[in-house]
Structures are given as structure tokens and as C-alpha cells.
């Protein structure tokens, strides 16, 4: 793991620990331990494994919030929403509101090409990218 990956993992764990401290339920100790054990998601593309639906197709997921109730939220593993879009992004990326997977370029628009979950599942083991302006992040 290089220094950049270590920093990302540390920031991820720091956020998770802060969130876990807000839990008031009887299992709050378990939430704190889970935050400490949390690691950055990684899929080995060479293993040709298909990531779970929580990564590939679900735009919403249900989470347990600090009071023990559940809440439906946008799936952070499906898309990342830029808020705001970084000023250093150049065209056409300045127009993208989220990361996109296998973007389809049309004459007037760019859109996600993940509208066919079965095609995505078949394609994912060989190559699937979330595009960002400065680099492509391999998700699996």
C-alpha cells in the first residue's frame, strides 16, 4: 500500500470513527469496532470476480443510523456526487455531476451506460471504470 492509499484509508477510518461515536444504541461498541476495522473497498480485477449488487446496480441502499432506525440513502459506491465540481476539472468533465461508469457519449450528453445490469455484470470482471477528470479509478 503506497502513501496515498494509506492516507485515503486513514481519512475513511477517521470519518467512520466520528460517525460511530454518534451511535446511541446498545450495540454502539460494535459500531465503533466496525469503524476501526473498516478498510478501503478493493476488488482484484485479475480475479475476474463480480462485485455485489451494492456496487454494480443499486442506486439506493438502506443504512442503520445512530438511533438504530434505518434510512434509505444514495449509494456512495454506485456514484460519487461532486459538490461542488472542482474548478480544475476540464471539459467535458466540468459538466459531469457525478462519476460515471462506462460513459455513453451522445451528441448532446454524456450518460451512464449501466442501464443494463446483466451487461454490466458480464462486463465488470474484465474492465469497468469510474471516470474522473484526472484519472480513471478502477473499481474492480
- pLDDT at position 133: 42
At 129 the pLDDT is 44
Angle at 23 between CA 18 and CA 25, to 5 degrees: 160
Give the pLDDT confidence score for residue 99 in this predicted structure: 81
Kindly report the pTM of this predicted structure: 0.62
What is the C-alpha separation between 43 and 3, in angstroms, rounded?
Answer: 19
Distances (CA, A) of 31 to 37, 42, 45, 69, 131: 10, 21, 30, 14, 32
What pLDDT, on the 0 to 100 scale, is given for residue 108? Answer: 64
HSE value, Cβ hemisphere, 13 Å, CA-based, for 41: 12
Query: 466520528: which residue's cell?
Result: 18
Q: What is the pLDDT along the chain (140 residues), one digit of tens a residue?
A: 677 778 888 898 999 999 999 999 999 999 999 999 988 776 666 676 777 777 777 889 999 999 999 999 988 888 888 888 888 888 777 878 888 776 766 656 666 666 555 655 665 554 444 444 444 444 43
* Dist CA 50 CA 34 (whole Å): 24
Look at residue 105 in the predicted model and tell me its pLDDT: 66
Q: What is the pLDDT of residue 85?
A: 84
Amino acid at each position: 500500500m503506497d502513501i496515498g492509499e494509506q492516507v485515503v484509508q486513514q481519512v475513511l477510518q477517521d470519518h467512520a470513527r466520528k460517525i460511530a461515536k454518534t451511535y446511541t444504541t446498545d450495540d454502539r461498541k460494535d459500531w465503533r469496532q466496525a469503524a476501526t476495522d473498516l478498510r478501503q473497498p478493493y476488488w482484484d480485477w485479475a480475479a475476474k470476480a463480480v462485485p455485489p449488487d451494492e456496487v454494480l446496480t443499486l442506486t439506493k441502499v438502506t443504512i442503520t443510523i445512530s438511533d438504530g432506525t434505518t434510512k434509505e440513502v444514495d449509494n456512495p459506491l454506485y456514484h460519487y456526487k461532486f459538490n461542488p465540481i472542482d474548478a480544475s476539472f476540464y471539459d467535458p468533465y466540468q459538466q459531469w455531476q457525478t462519476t460515471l461508469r462506462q460513459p455513453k457519449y451522445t451528441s448532446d450528453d454524456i450518460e451512464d451506460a449501466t442501464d443494463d445490469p446483466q451487461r454490466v455484470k458480464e462486463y465488470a470482471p474484465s474492465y469497468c471504470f469510474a471516470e474522473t477528470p484526472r484519472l480513471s479509478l478502477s473499481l474492480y
